[in-house]
Structure 1
Amino acid sequence: MRKLRDWRVRTSRTLQVVDAFVILWAVTGAYVIRFGFEPTFVGTGQEASYVWVSVALSIVWWSMLGAWNSRQSRILGAGPDEYKRVAAASLWLFGLVAIISYVLRVDTARGYVAIALPVGIVGLLLARWLLRQHLSVNRQRGDSMSRLMLLGGPGAVAHLAASLQGAKHAGYLPIAAYTPGVQDKTATEAASGLPVMGHEADTHMILDAISRCDADAVAVSAGVQLHPQTLRHLGWELASRNVGLIMAPALTDIAGPRIHTQQVAGLPLIHVTTPSLEGGQRVIKRLFDIAVSGTFIVLLSPLMALLALVVKLDSPGPVLFKQERVGIEGSQFRMLKFRSMVVDAEARLAALADKNEGNGVLFKIKNDPRVTRSGRFLRKYSLDELPQLFNIFGGSMSLVGPRPPLQREVEVYEHDVRRRLLVKPGLTGLWQVSGRSNLSWQDSVRLDLYYVENWSLAGDLVILLRTARAVFHSTGAY
Structure 2
Amino acid sequence: MRHVRFPEQREASGAAGPHRPAAAPVRRLGDKARWYLPAAVTADLLGAAVPVGLVFDAAGQARPLHCALGAALAWTGVQALRRRYAGRVLGESRGVLPVLHDWLILIGVLAFVRVVTAEETPRLAALGALLPALLVTVACHKLTYRHLSAARREAQAVSRVLVVGEPAAAEHVIAHLAARTDHPYVAVGLVPVGGGPLAGGMPVAARLDASMPKAPNRDASAVLRAVRRHHADLVLVAPGARFAGERLRRVAWALHDAGLELAVFPGLVEVSVKRLETLSAGGLAVLRVAPPVRRGVQPLLKAVLDRVGAAVGLLLLSPLFLGLVLAIRLGSKGPAFYSQRRVGRDGVPFVMWKFRTMVTDADRLKAGLAGANENDGPMFKMRRDPRVTRVGRLLRRTSLDELPQLVNVLTGSMSLVGPRPPLPEEVAEYDEVELRRLTVRPGMTGLWQISGRSDLSWDETIQLDLQYVDNWSFTSDVDVMGRTLRAVVDGRGAY
Normalising by structure 1, we get a TM-score of: 0.88
Cα displacement (A) at 1:249: 0.9
Q: What residue identity is the alignment partner of 1:152?
A: G
Match of 2:5 in 1: none
**How far did residue 55 of structure 1 move?**
3.6
Q: Confirm or deny: 8 A CA contact 1:311 1:319 kept in the other structure.
A: yes
How many Å apart are 1:368 and its aligned residue? 1.2
| Divergent runs of 4+, >6 A | none
Ranges in structure 2 where 5+ consecutive residues have no aligned partner: 1-26, 210-218
**What is the CA–CA distance in structure 2 between the aligned matches of 1:115 and 1:306, rounded to whole Å?**
39
Match of 1:307 among 303, 314, 324: 324
Letter in 2 for 1:176: G
- Pair 1:179-2:192 in alignment: yes
Summarize the Cα distance change of 1:291–1:356 in structure 2 as closer, same or farther, 3 Å threshold: same
TM-superposed CA distance for 1:317, in Å, is 0.9
Give the one of 156, 179, 199 matched to 1:190. 199
1:97-108 equivalences in 2 (<5 Å): 97-102=110-115, 104=116, 106-107=118-119
**CA apart distance, 1:284:** 2.6
Indicate the RMSD between aligned Cα atoms, in angstroms. Answer: 2.5
What's the offset of the Cα at 1:159?
A: 2.7
Is contact 1:325-1:335 (8 Å) kept?
yes
Greater displacement, 159-168 / 204-213: 159-168
User: How far is 1:25 from its partner?
Assistant: 4.8
SS of 1:370 mapped into structure 2: coil
1:75 paired residue number: 89
Contact 2:28/2:159 (<8 A) preserved: no
Note the C-alpha offset of 1:320. Answer: 0.9
Q: Which residue of 2 aligns with 1:329?
A: 346
Does 1:404 find its partner at 2:421?
Answer: yes
CA distance in 1: counterparts of 2:414 and 2:202, whole angstroms: 45
Question: Could you list the per-position Cα deviations for residues 400-429 of structure 1 after superposition, in whole angstroms to 9, with x for gaps in the alignment?
Answer: 111111111111211222222211111111
Rounded Cα–Cα distance in structure 2 between residues aligned with 1:36 and 1:461: 34
Larger deviation: 108-117 or 296-305? 108-117
Q: Confirm or deny that 1:27 pairs with 2:36.
A: no
Distance verdict in 2 for CA 1:197–1:298, change over 3 Å: same
1:278-306, Cα deviation, whole Å (9 max, x unpaired):
46544332211011111111121111211
Which amino acid in 1 is paired with 2:309? V
CA separation of 1:78 and 1:199: change in aligned 2, threshold 3 A: same
Cα distance in structure 2, aligned partners of 1:21 and 1:470: 26
Alignment of structure 1 residues 32-431 onto 2, 5 Å: 32-35=54-57, 39-40=61-62, 49=63, 51-80=65-94, 84-102=97-115, 104=116, 106-107=118-119, 109-110=121-122, 113-180=126-193, 182-184=194-196, 189-191=198-200, 193-200=201-208, 202-223=219-240, 225-278=242-295, 280-431=297-448
Q: Is 2:357–2:392's contact at 8 Å kept on the other side of the alignment?
A: yes
1:454 aligned partner: 471
Report the AA paired with residue 206 of structure 2.
G
SS of residue in 1 equivalent to 2:419: coil
Provide the C-alpha distance between the structure 2 equivalents of 1:262 and 1:363, rounded to a whole number of angstroms: 46
Contact 1:293 1:389 in 2 (8 A): yes
**CA deviation after TM superposition for structure 1 residue 26, in Å:** 2.4
The one-character-per-residue Cα deviations of 1:141-193 (angstroms, maximum 9, x if unpaired) are 1111111111222233233223323332322212112122x213x7xx423x3
- SS of corresponding position for 1:445: helix
**Structure possessing the higher relative contact order (Cα contacts under 8 Å, 6 or more residues apart):** 2
CA contact (8 A) 2:32 2:157 kept: no
What is the distance in 2 between the residues matched to 1:38 and 1:350?
74
Secondary structure of the residue that 1:218 maps to in structure 2? Answer: strand
Instruction: Please state how far the C-alpha of 1:340 moved relative to its aligned partner.
Output: 1.0
Tell me whether 384-393 or 17-26 shows the greater mean CA deviation.
17-26
Q: Deviations over 1:54-109 (max 9, x none)?
A: 4444334323322211123333444427x55444344323312323444x463353
Contact 2:91 2:145 survives alignment (8 Å) = yes
CA distance in 1, matches of 2:28, 2:420: 44
Q: Which amino acid aligns with 1:326?
A: V
Structure 1 residues 215-236: Cα deviation after superposition (integer angstroms, max 9, x where no partner): 1112222226324233233333
Q: What is the percentage of aligned positions where both structures have the same residue?
A: 35
SS state at 1:311 partner: helix
1:84 and 1:458 map into 2 onto residues whose CA distance is 8
SS of match in other structure, 2:468: helix
**Equivalent pair of 1:27/1:116 in contact (CA under 8 Å):** no
Report the Cα offset of residue 446 of structure 1.
2.0
Give the stretch that moved more between structures: 381-390 or 58-67: 58-67
Distance 1:404 1:126, change over 3 A: same
SS at match of 2:482: helix
2:52–2:71 Cα contact (<8 Å) kept? no
* Distance in 2 of aligned mates of 1:67 and 1:445: 40
Aligned mates of 2:87, 2:158 — CA distance in 1: 10
Partner-residue secondary structure (3-state), 2:182: helix
For structure 1, the residue ranges without an aligned partner over 5 or more in a row are 41-48
Does the CA-based 8 Å contact 1:152-1:224 persist in structure 2?
no
Q: Relative to structure 1, is the Cα distance of residues 140 and 410 closer, same or farther in structure 2, using a 3 angstrom cutoff? A: same
Offset of residue 117 of structure 1: 2.4
Matched residues in 2 for 1:125 and 1:450: separation?
Answer: 24
